[in-house]
Chains A and B, each alone.
Chain A
Amino acid sequence: AQTVTQSQPEMSVQEAETVTLSCTYDTSENNYYLFWYKQPPSRQMILVIRQEAYKQQNATENRFSVNFQKAAKSFSLKISDSQLGDTAMYFCAFTAGDMRFGAGTRLTVKP
């Protein structure tokens, strides 16, 4: 079975600082895709960033970047220059067919 684990239920960071959210997954598949979704209090699910497993280069989207370690089955999200609007639940997700989500990390950005 494919599982996704987010070991940090809650995190906080000061505005303008950098924070890293952890995610590990378990799979026997070789071809798969990884995503980070953001869920603000409005409850919308918003795609933050995605990574193809066959790509060695880490994905980057503006202030968001990932550290993808395929051998370690690790997929962490780094948020640079944190902003108040980054306050949200963050979900790591994995797919090789069905999408599997982690339990989430609640991130609070403090002014």
Chain B
Amino acid sequence: NAGVTQTPKFRILKIGQSMTLQCTQDMNHNYMYWYRQDPGMGLKLIYYSVGAGITDKGEVPNGYNVSRSTTEDFPLRLELAAPSQTSVYFCASRPSGGLNQPQHFGDGTRLSIL
């Protein structure tokens, strides 16, 4: 059971480049999330989705875009990479059935913008 899978694990980008962070889950979870974790800080919500075709902004959405065409996949797009986007990015999912359902996290993607 793979759970939540994120690719790549590490990436270095130049300022102004674009890239997509991939996230897929095999648990048939409706809810999916993207977070960023800056050094020494907790996670901050970038975007989330409550099901295929539905996405919404979180706490820090600027500079990012998402799509959710299937239940399994929730990619995060950086269009014009900036040094402020250097961070560790986590994807998470949870089942329906209430907010008490814990989120399941991927292993993270460490992204450096130089």
Contacts and interface: CB of A to CB of B under 8 A. Distances in A.
A and B: bona fide binding partners: yes
Interface of A: 4, 6, 9, 32-33, 35, 42-45, 47, 50, 52, 91, 93, 95-104
Contact of B107 (A44, A91, A95): A44
Interface in B52-105: 58-59, 88, 90, 92, 99-100, 102-103, 105
Contacts of B41: 103-104
A52 B43 CA distance: 21
B100 A50 contact: yes
A43 B99 contact: no
Q: How large is the interface on B (under 10, 10 to 19, 20 to 34, 35 or more residues)?
A: 20 to 34
Contact of A98 (B40, B45, B90, B108): B45
Given A98-B58, A103-B42, A104-B41, A47 B102 contact: yes
B64 to A, nearest CB: 16
A85 to B, nearest CB: 18
Given A43-B108, A45-B105, A103 B40 contact: yes
The 7 closest A-B pairs by CB, nearest first: A101-B42, A45-B105, A47-B102, A101-B43, A33-B100, A33-B99, A103-B42
A101 B33 CA distance: 14
Contacts of A35: 102
B100 A99 contact: no
B44 interface: yes
A75 B41 CA distance: 19
A45 B107 CA distance: 8
Contact of B99 (A9, A97, A104): A97
